[in-house]
Amino acid sequence: MNSRQTLLTWCDQTLQTTQFKDYAPNGLQVEGKNEIRKIITAVTASRAAIEFAAEQGADMLLVHHGMFWKSEPVTITGWKKQRIATLLKHQINLVGYHLPLDAHPTLGNNTQLAAQMSWQPENAFGEQNLLNIGSLPENQQTLADLAAQLKTVLQREPVVVGNLSGSLKKVAWCTGGAQGFFQAAIDAGADVFITGEISEAQYHLANETGVAFVSAGHHATERYGVQALGKAIAEEFGLDVQFFDESNPA
């Protein structure tokens, strides 16, 4: 029998959760069945993902974006009540790993995105080592080519700020909502910074520094870490693990 605690202990140790200061709890967020036979993975613990897990008879929903963020009200009402009610009704464990899943050197979102795009990571840097810097393959040596490859791989039109014909050597990236790290990427010597979201300020910073900025989608850039974690769990414990995806334009 694969118990919930056995899986949680393995995940906590593998992802080294104690090394991170995060904005939400990592690990078990809503308790369900003790015995785990089937797991659904998803980027976010949305109502759609929870309902899919229930339909599939899953014992655990494993996500990157869980619930109970520091910026949210603590009351269990409205949409949060609906999500939790469904989890409890079907005794589904909700387990989330946020920053530890971004930064993991093999399973993490940053490493997995690099693998999808054929980037060659050189080192991690910045706040909690959440940024990466590396080199680009031959088919992504200009901003236009890089943007085209991102569109092909992620199936989403990126927002691109910079000289499309300009040559690129160093790429820095951090999946998700990491637009606030743009200056750190500039200071590290990147020619282009790629993340999931863009705010108003990044447009001006890119134009004024000459360092290109690409917003490739928060959801789109973070599809791959939780899938890698799910695959690793399936191999380690012999469990049935399935990925649920959503068409999320953000």
Q: Which residue has the tokens 């949210």?
A: 72
Residue ranges of the binding site for a divalent metal cation: 64-65, 102, 218, 222
Work out the number of other CB atoms within 10 angstroms of the CB of residue 69: 12
- Assess contact for 86 and 46: CB atoms under 8 A: no
Q: Which residue has the tokens 């014992």?
A: 59
DSSP β-bridge partners for residue 195: 215
- Assess contact for 187 and 164: CB atoms under 8 A: no
- Assess contact for 50 and 84: CB atoms under 8 A: no
Parallel/antiparallel/unpaired status of strands 159-161 and 212-215: antiparallel
Q: Amino acid identity, residue 168?
A: L
DSSP-derived 3-state class of residue 71: coil
The predicted-structure confidence for 68-89, as pLDDT tens digits, reads as follows: 999 899 999 999 999 999 999 9
Residue ranges of the binding site: 64-65, 102, 218, 222
| pLDDT tens sequence for the chain (250 residues) | 799 999 999 999 999 999 999 999 999 999 999 999 999 999 999 999 999 999 999 999 999 999 999 989 999 999 999 999 999 999 999 999 999 999 999 999 999 999 999 999 999 999 999 999 999 999 999 999 999 999 999 999 999 999 999 999 999 999 999 999 999 999 999 999 999 999 999 999 999 999 999 999 999 999 999 999 999 999 999 999 999 999 999 9
* Dist. CA 211–CA 40, nearest whole Å: 39
Say what the pLDDT of residue 187 is: 98
Cα–Cα nearest to 214, from 146, 116, 133, 168:
146
Structural domains of the chain, ranges and CATH numbers in brackets = 2-97 (3.40.1390.30), 104-221 (3.40.1390.30)
pTM of the model: 0.97
